A and B are shown apart, each in its own frame.
Chain A
């Protein structure tokens, strides 16, 4: 069966410009969307934990809207419907990358808000109490005490989200964003071969995720709060419960 495998085609695909550029686009889109989603998610998490009912309601609606509808539909909506609704989007700056960035950020922000909320809630309330007893403002307590401890809890699920998001960028091929999958499809269309182009795409995804895993373990070490154990010992602290989120059918 493997007799038909064309290793030359595989290697030329792997090193070709469209693949490289596609991979770079996918990586950029993932990183930009995750970064934006973390910012959105952070404020949405604060909103969900707010004492004001109106703010809680608002964040609830946001989470509900973006988690209950398919990501592909959101992507289509932003790419096709938004320019019709608002002429500001019917202009040259609104590229497929921009549309995908907005859609994925909003989508991912809803998931991140749950992860960050779980992280914030996992911090012992005594930490805030001690900060207040010292006379620290709420904002400083959040920044210096609560967020660093919440980060430790949020890193592993956020790594999951990165991977999910990376794979979701392939959805953007339907709004003509040139990412990894587009490169393989275009190659297949020319060569009438599927195995090699798809395998080359697969290698790129594996490479990016491997890179992320290295990055993640470094980050986890940085947020390990033991002196001798930094970098060596595994943490004794049990991971906090994070709401189970299915990634299957976004």
Chain B
């Protein structure tokens, strides 16, 4: 039983076919890690799943229907926290502006989620005043507070200094342990190794190979995967 499903998703940018009929299913509580070279269509696939891009062909469904606002959470490489809002206001924003909760209630829920990512003490600070790792954790809380059915991570640690990567991966791993359904585009092979339910290799707009991490890393079947792993590991 899949919760999030991409069926035959195809996307063109002008003359370039970025996604060539991608079909894949994510089951509840699964963590799918997508790897692949840049330009392989990983980010575009996530954007289609988050409805930030409309596929030219095919469809994205959540529990068999089109996802509603906030139901698929997205975390970006560059955090994209609202610069004019404090950490707390960022997390409250979706509750107030989309779910139309009263401010007091939104504040209460948002505080709980800031606490969950370990940043309750930074509530009144603006993005400019937080480290990259802290900003990314606020961004995760901002998505989580909407009670998403699935979370998408688009290279969430790629813009971070090495010593800040860990705190974000910790949050992601704890989410995975708690049973969150996740699709993670990353270059962090260690994360893929021990947090993924399955690992997908993408190249030229297609899924080349999909396998559980042990199998994927120790005995990749496809020549393309072998070549890629040889480069990154």
Contacts and interface: CB of A to CB of B under 8 A. Distances in A.
A145 B73 contact: no
Contacts of B126: 225-227
A238 B185 CA distance: 32
B80 A145 contact: no
Contacts of B93: 134, 136, 144
Given A134-B70, A134-B93, A236-B128, A127 B143 contact: no
B143 A135 contact: no
Interface in B123-141: 124-129, 139
Interface residues of A, number: 24
B50 A133 contact: yes
Contacts of A135: 68-71, 94, 98, 146
Nearest to A135: B69
Contact of B94 (A134, A236, A237): A134
A139 to B, nearest CB: 10
B142 interface: yes
- Most chain A Cβ neighbours within 10 Å, of B80, B129, B143: B80
16 contacts: A126-B78, A130-B82, A133-B76, A134-B98, A135-B70, A135-B94, A135-B146, A136-B97, A140-B98, A144-B93, A225-B83, A225-B85, A225-B126, A226-B126, A227-B86, A237-B128
In the complex, the 7 A-B pairs of residues with the closest C-beta atoms, listed nearest first: A135-B69, A130-B80, A126-B80, A133-B74, A134-B94, A148-B84, A135-B70
Given A129-B52, A236-B128, A136 B78 contact: no
Nearest to A141: B97
Nearest to B146: A134
B30 to A, nearest CB: 21
Nearest to A235: B128
A33 to B, nearest CB: 28
- Most chain B Cβ neighbours within 10 Å, of A124, A148, A225: A225
Interface of A: 124, 126-127, 129-136, 140, 144-145, 148-149, 152, 223, 225-228, 236-237
Contact of A133 (B68, B124, B143): B143
Contact of B84 (A134, A225, A227): A225
Q: Determine the interface band of chain B, counting residues with CB < 8 A from chain A.
A: 20 to 34
Interface in B97-152: 97-98, 124-129, 139, 142-143, 146
A196 B101 CA distance: 63
B81 interface: yes
Given A136-B98, A226-B129, A145 B76 contact: no
Given A135-B98, A135-B146, A127 B129 contact: no
A140 B69 CA distance: 13
Contacts of B71: 135
A129 B70 contact: no
B81 A149 contact: no
Given A132-B52, A135-B70, A140-B97, A149 B84 contact: yes
- Most chain A Cβ neighbours within 10 Å, of B81, B84, B127, B142: B84
Given A133-B74, A135-B70, A136-B94, A145 B84 contact: yes
Nearest to A149: B84
Interface string B54-92: 000000000000001111011010101111111000000
Contacts of A140: 97-98
A148 B89 CA distance: 14
Contacts of B50: 133
Nearest to B87: A227
Contacts of B76: 126, 129-130, 133
A237 B127 CA distance: 12
Contacts of A134: 69-70, 93-94, 97-98, 142-143, 146
A119 to B, nearest CB: 13
Given A134-B146, A144-B93, 7 more contacts: A126-B78, A127-B80, A129-B80, A133-B50, A135-B70, A226-B126, A227-B125
